[in-house]
Amino acid sequence: MKAVAVLLGVTLVASSATRIAAAQDAEAIVGRSARVYESISSLRADFTQRIEDSMIGTYDSRGALMQKGQNRLSMRFSDPDGDAIVVDGRQVWVYTPSTAPGQVIRMPIPTGALYGLNVLSWILDRPAERYRMRYLRADKVNGRVADVVELIPLSSELPFSRAVVWLDRDDALPRRLEISERRGGVRTITLSHVRANTALPADAFAFTVPDGVRIVDQR
């Protein structure tokens, strides 16, 4: 019986050590990504997005993403063609002729813990203070090896209850984000052709209101 008890104790200690090591690995992986993300001057990538919601069904889209700092973000869609979300440093433009033709919404840039539309900042701004982390597995995204980590927010202020992120082992930047939103639904964004610190077009974060389109001002 003593041998069994000793074996059980060793097993429990080993299991506990494994859990602690996994948690530390998750924090180290996400911490590295946060430092890399904070250090870059710009980011551009192609994206695909899938929204799964029991109310609206499944909605797929794709396009190009560009970002510079916290207050400049551009998501221009090729499918649905012409849709765009642009944060120009002063305000947000939401133009979705695929669902709301003839209008564009203009609103102030959200502040605080919601981070507006900048999903990458939700994940990578001070993650050690904001999340409980758990390492899930290694995986591949578009042929690139990534570590998959689960993030559970410690505050209800963030607009999601769970996030699973795929962080590239080479450059530490996100390649996929699976966001479980508090209002229901899951949004999955997959990034490809990710490029950091590259020159962006001069008009990357400019939005020109098309002729005949009405501005719906929510400022």
pLDDT at residue 112 in the model: 55
Q: What is the pLDDT of residues 134-174, one digit of tens each?
A: 999 999 999 999 999 999 999 887 888 999 999 999 999 99
Residue 16, pLDDT above cutoff 60: no
Write out the residue range of the structural domain in which residue 40 sits.
2-217
Partners of 176 in the beta sheet?
Answer: 166, 190
- pLDDT above 50: residue 2: no
CATH number at residue 115: 2.50.20.10
pLDDT at 4: 44
Amino acid in the structure at residue 212: G
In the chain, what percentage of residues exceed pLDDT 90? 71
pTM of the full structure = 0.84
CA angle 66, 69, 70 (to 5 degrees): 100
pLDDT at residue number 136: 97
Count of domains observed in the chain:
1
